[in-house]
Amino acid sequence: MTDCKQQLKELIEDTVFPDIEDAIDDVFEEIANSKKPSKEQESLLKDMNEFKEDLEDILKEIKENELEDEECKELFEEFTLMIKEMETE
């Protein structure tokens, strides 16, 4: 496994995945408090679950050594930028 793939794997498993799971939990908590999901909450949950599935697919590609190095670098940069943007909010 290349350095990029290892770093991407760790970034997803240690940071991105837990963050998306926390965000999903927060939306479920909001829904539980309001008793009924709004259209916005339903859409947000759908989007977050799709993103979580995409992360799982990326991890699978890394495990099976199917992720190209260039794509790895692009994903790592995107996730790093996304994390930095979230930290500044």
Q: Which two tokens stand for residue 73?
A: 């670098």
Q: How far apart are CA 4 and CA 10, in angstroms?
A: 10
Q: Which two tokens stand for residue 65?
A: 């050594």
The model's pTM is 0.86
Instruction: Summarize pLDDT for 40-71 with one digit per residue, the tens.
Output: 999 999 999 999 999 999 999 999 999 999 99
CA 62 to each of CA 10, 59, 65, 69: distance values in angstroms, whole numbers, following the listed order: 11, 5, 5, 10
Confidence at residue 89, expressed as pLDDT on a 0 to 100 scale? 74
Q: Which two tokens stand for residue 79?
A: 């996730």
